[in-house]
Structures are given as structure tokens and as C-alpha cells.
Amino acid sequence: MSPTSLNSGWRTARRIIDNILHKYPKLPKTFPREDSLPLQIGSKISVKEYNTFLNQNETTEYKFNWERGKVFIVEMAKAVHEAAVSYIQDCFKEPNNGVKVGPIEVLSQPFHYKPTGHGEQLVPDIAVCGRVPNVIKPLIPHPGPPPSDVDGNPHARIIGEVANTQTVANLNTKCEAWMHETYVRCVLGIKLFPKRTIGGVVHQAMLARLWTRRPTGTSVLSTNATLAAAGVHVTEWDFGTIQHNNNTPTPTGCTTLSNAAFQILIPTIDAFYNPPTPAVLPVTVVGANFTIDLFELQQVVMEEN
């Protein structure tokens, strides 16, 4: 028997023994339907077992949530979800001015610890931070200071979450959980509602919310008492082809590119937030803001089936 076969056999044996000694969630044998989500796949799962399971399944097409020992599939990597994530990532990369390894790092699903959790890991759709040496690399693993992700890298400063099958309530809960980590400067949440055909025309409602530690002209204090006391504000944009909360199909007005009313501006300095040392914007960064044009995002989403 070849060394490769022996190694493969040992890995299989270890995995079998590990599954016998520990209780892990069980992935479905077939791809679940979107209307079956959230789908429970485990109960009485410890945080340690959940974190191990999460690391073993980081490349699957699912997003998971642990809640009081229960584990759920809450989202699937459908094309529409991935298209929205990809567009927003490109917006955050833009101030790097086309440099492939620029001062702003934009990652997809890096493992962090849930700020309001019990040690379980949480994986954002989008994580933005400054690249070392433009930010301090944590000398002490999470919680630091400064805080880090689970691998000891700088903690994300800006978080993006996209919900396709998840409810607005679940999206709010996840976004607000991130804001309990004071190192996070802002969180962008995007909710995509199911498409509707009205008069032979396909429409889709979409909602954007931005949680930030600075008020803007259209923001309100968070409805979460703890976050409100900390000065966290929320701004909302109804940017689909029709309004999301209106039974009578009503246009949102998001119909053209570069409409200031439907652009989300996030200061680029937020990616380099680095207390107690003031953050300094690298000279190679282009522009004072990350700009997310919601009409362009709307069109990207509508192109997907």
C-alpha cells in the first residue's frame, strides 16, 4: 500500500473516531430548499464542538448559526447572494486604486468570535480592515487588546452581511451583534426579498441598513438599548424596484446611477481605526469614502435568476 493511501486511511479513521467521541451537527444529504431555512441540523452541541464543525465545513455552501446548543443552516451561497457580496467587496477594494495587494484588505468569511456570544465563532460575508503594517497586528490573541480574528490577525473594522433567505429580524440581530465589538466602526446589512412578477414585469424589494458610531442626517439611534446608549445610529435605504413593506407595489425611486439619495458613503479611515493611536490614511488610498451605489447593486441582483 502506498504512503498516500495509508495517510488517507488514517485520516478517515481519525474522522470516524472523532465523530464517535464528539457530537457534531449533521449536514443534509441533499441541498435543502430555500423555503426550508432556517434548517436545524444539530442539538445539544457544545460551543467547542460547533467551532470544530465550523472549521471543518468552512468551504461548504452554507452559513450556520449556533443558538443555545442548537445549530441551524441559515443561508446558502446562491448566485444572487454571491453576486451581491462580490459587488460590495469590489466597492471596498476601489480605494486601493487597482493595486492587487493594497493597504485595504477585503476578505470573504474570515472567522471571528461572536461579540455577544459564548465563545462560538461567527463568519461575516465581508470583512474590511487595514493591512499590516498600516494597522497594529495584535500581540495578544483575541480579545487582545487590540482584538483579533480567531487566527490572531487584525479584527475587521467594517463588516458586511447579505441576507437572501434570512429574515430581516435575523439580519438585524447578526449586524447588531457585530456592533457590540467597539473596534468595529460600522456594519452594512443587505436584505434581498423574493422576486415578484407584476403586470409581466419582474420586481424585487431590497433593503440596506448601516449601523455606525457616528450620526448622519437620516440616521436614528439603534433600537437596541445597549447600542443606543453607546451612540450607535442606523440609516436605512429601501432600494429595490419596489418598496419592501408595502402591499401595493410602489417604486422606491432608486432608478439611476450616482443618485446621492441611494449611495452609501463609508469613510475609508474607518478601515484603519486603531486606538489608542490615531489612525492615519495611507497616501496610496484614493478617495475619502467607500462608495456603494445601491442602484448598481440593485441591477447586479436583478440580473441573477
| Highest averaged pLDDT of the listed ranges 20-34, 133-147, 165-179 | 165-179
User: What domains lie within the chain, and their CATH numbers?
Assistant: 21-76 (no CATH), 77-303 (3.90.1570)
pLDDT above 60: residue 179: yes
Nearest to 33 by CA among 266, 194, 225: 194
Name the H helices within 94-192: 168-179
For helices 79-93 and 294-302, the axis angle rounded to 10 degrees is 150
| Cβ neighbours for 141, distance < 8 A, ≥ 6 positions apart | 148, 152
pLDDT confidence bin for 305, thresholds 50/70/90: low
Let me know if 217 is exposed, middle or buried by CB neighbors in 10 A (0-12, 13-18, 19+): exposed
In this structure, are strands 158-163 and 201-212 parallel, antiparallel, or unpaired?
A: unpaired
What are the pLDDT digits (tens) for 186-199?
999 999 999 999 88
Alpha carbon 88 to its chain centroid, in Å, reads 11
The pLDDT value given to residue 13: 47
The pLDDT value given to residue 4: 52
Average pLDDT of the segment spanning 193-215: 93
The pLDDT value given to residue 46: 87
In contact, 135 and 155? CB cutoff 8 Å: no
With b meaning 16 or more CB within 10 Å and e meaning fewer, what string describes 257-288?
A: eeeeebbbebbbbbbbbbeeeebebbeebeee
pLDDT confidence bin for 16, thresholds 50/70/90: very low
DSSP state of 94: G
**299: its cell numbers:** 441591477
| Highest averaged pLDDT of the listed ranges 64-68, 161-165, 208-212, 270-274 | 208-212
